[in-house]
Amino acid sequence: MKKEANTDYQLVVGLEVHIQLSTESKLFASDSTAFGQPPNTNVGVITLAHPGIMPKLNKKAVEYAIRMGLACNCEISRYCIFDRKNYFYPDLPKGFQTTQDKTPICIGGEIPVQLKDNSVVSIKLNRIHLEEDAGKSIHDEESNDSLIDLNRAGVPLIELVTEPVIGSSEEAMALLTEIRRIIRYLNICDGNMEQGSMRCDANISVKKKNDSQLGKKVEVKNMNSIRNVGRAIEFEMKRQIQCIENNEEVISETRLFDAIAEKTSSMRTKEELNDYRYFPEPDLSPFEVSPEWLSEIEKQMPTTPYELRAKFANVYELSDYDATVLIDNKELATFFETVCEKTHHYKQVANWIIGPIKSVLNEHKEERIPLTADQLADLVNAIASGAINSSVATKKIFPELIHQAKSLAEILNELELPTNSQEDISDVILHVMSTFPDEVKAYQNGKKNLIGMFMGEVMKKTNGTADPKRTNELLRDALEKRTN
């Protein structure tokens, strides 16, 4: 295939994102949803589909789904029913999945995502619906048998379905990153793709740019990271273009992505139209979302990551990079705003969080921020006033400050480090000038490079704790005044 042939084609991708909701119990049963338990221990009569059982809807799961819909600018359905999706499920004992077909809890919507060039693309959604998860089939390579773990069966999911409007792997990865941020900010899911609490299937097709009809789509499964989704899309795009260029048919099928080989392989062919024989679940009554309940959920909604990014840029005047790094971690973003209530040196606060604090968290694999908002605000204010220089703050004070419930003043006292006020530094400068009268006259006569010598003497007298920039300004001012 010629390289230039790629420019003749348009990639079209739609994502189906399954998000496991962080409720304590399952969607229709009281069984625990705790992750990592021994196989088949989080099960009960409803999960096992015993005769005569009656499911009961988990209200918290519905609330979490509504939260996601509000965050994605969806229309919230006021009247919903559940449906039976009939399919061969070896890991659902009842033999069908309870889901939403005709009345999804959330309709339409969009998610704005920021790309690497800082441009913003709004990805349109088709729906977000509630459904139960299936169990897990375990295939042992050393055995001819497959094992079934039903702990996950019945765990509440929301499935977010986009329209086929994604035009690049970068857009797909940016969307998944934003979805993961949103669900973490909403506290409805931990977004851990490796553990399966967030999973993604990609429907991928290519078409000639002038064609109005979409090409045959291929569904790619088995992707456990955002990066793998991007790699799978890139591979499929090239593979499908190659097929078309070679006059070969693109088969509508389900494929698996091999992360080691970085390629997809055929799993099974797809029917042109899946017949799941949906019909309303007779054991569950329809449910309504009252205006009062919806209003209550709206009042409790946190700021979304996209809204927060705009606030950090407009209110705190941070760069796109700083804002993106901060909002990527909800705890760091919240901590930043708390510190900024105590100081107006916003950029300096961001630098400390993105730099030293984030390094400590990464190095020790911790989630708890190692100092309080008051401690960081005091440190930033002291540096800004010139009472402490940034080098001493980084090398001596910060290592002592983290993980200690002590104030900055207490740390300075323990380390016997003075706080250099403008008056203190001015006194030191006058002392240095009186000690070197000949050098002062030489400076007055035009030897301005002597400023370095004076700076060195002042820093010696202050044991290196004086702020260099502030000291330089005060020193030049004093020398000029002496000159006049």
Task: Supply 385's token pair.
Answer: 């006033």
What fold, for 422-483? Arc Repressor Mutant, subunit A (1.10.10)
* Residue 478: closest CA among 430, 446, 431: 430
Residue 169 has pLDDT above 60, yes or no: yes
Please state the rounded mean pLDDT for residues 172-183. Answer: 97
Inter-residue contact 93 to 49 (CB < 8 Å): yes
Q: What is the pLDDT of residue 231?
A: 97
Task: Give the side-chain half-sphere CA count within 13 A for 253.
Answer: 14
pLDDT at 57 over 70: yes
Does 4 have pLDDT greater than 50?
A: no
Return the H-helix or E-strand segment holding 156. strand 156-162
Q: Where are the domains of the chain?
A: 3-292, 303-415, 422-483
Kindly report which listed range (30-34, 191-195, 331-335, 462-466) carries the lowest average pLDDT score. 462-466
DSSP state of 304: P
Please compute Rg for the chain using Cα positions: 31
What pLDDT shows up at residue 193?
93
What pTM was computed for the model?
0.84
**pLDDT tens for each residue of 430-445:** 888 888 888 888 887 7
Range 333-362 average pLDDT: 96
CA–CA separation, 382 and 405 (whole Å) = 18
pLDDT in the model for residue 37: 94
User: 70 CB contacts (<8 Å, ≥6 apart)?
Assistant: 76, 297, 298, 301
Q: What's the pLDDT at 457?
A: 82
Quick one: pLDDT band at residue 63, thresholds 50, 70, 90?
A: very high
Three-class SS of residue 172? helix
415: pLDDT strictly greater than 60: yes
Structure tokens at 257: 């992505």
Angle, nearest 10°, between helix axes 320-327 and 305-314?
140
User: Is residue 333 pLDDT above 90, yes or no?
Assistant: yes
Residue 456 CA, chain-centre distance (Å), reads 46
CA 477 distance to own-chain centroid: 49
| pLDDT beyond 90 at 483 | no
Task: Please state the rounded mean pLDDT for residues 142-148.
Answer: 82
